[in-house]
């Protein structure tokens, strides 16, 4: 799987601008939400195949990614369905 595109810094723009930070945080929150979603799906598959340790670690990864997405201002995914 290819790595997500990480925005490159523009050398002509001063580092640490609010616009730049907002873009980076938005991108990171989006990636964290995606990781949380994929970890959740894989944990469900591991559970169905009787792989409890793998399921545990995937759920741990999901929780970490959800927490990071919320910290960065993203929204959490409703997985109650």
Q: Residue 64 has which token pair? A: 């970490």
Task: Judge contact between 72 and 28, C-beta under 8 A.
Answer: yes
Report DSSP letters for 28-79, one per residue.
HHHHHHHHHHHHHHHHHHHHHTT-HHHHHHHHHHHHHHHHHHHHTT------
**Domain boundaries along the sequence of the chain:** 39-73
CB under 8 Å to 69, separation ≥6 — which residues? 29, 32, 33, 36, 75, 76
pLDDT bin (cut points 50, 70, 90) of residue 20 is confident
Mean pLDDT across the chain: 83
- pTM equals 0.68
**Position 15 pLDDT exceeds 90:** no
């Amino acid at each position: 799987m290819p790595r997500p595109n990480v925005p490159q810094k523009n050398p002509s723009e001063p580092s640490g601008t609010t616009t730049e930070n907002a873009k980076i945080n938005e991108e990171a929150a989006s990636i964290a939400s995606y990781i949380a979603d994929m970890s959740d799906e894989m944990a469900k598959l591991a559970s169905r195949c009787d792989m409890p340790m793998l399921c545990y670690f995937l759920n741990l990864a999901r929780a970490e990614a959800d927490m990071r997405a919320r910290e960065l201002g993203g929204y959490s995914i409703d997985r109650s369905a």
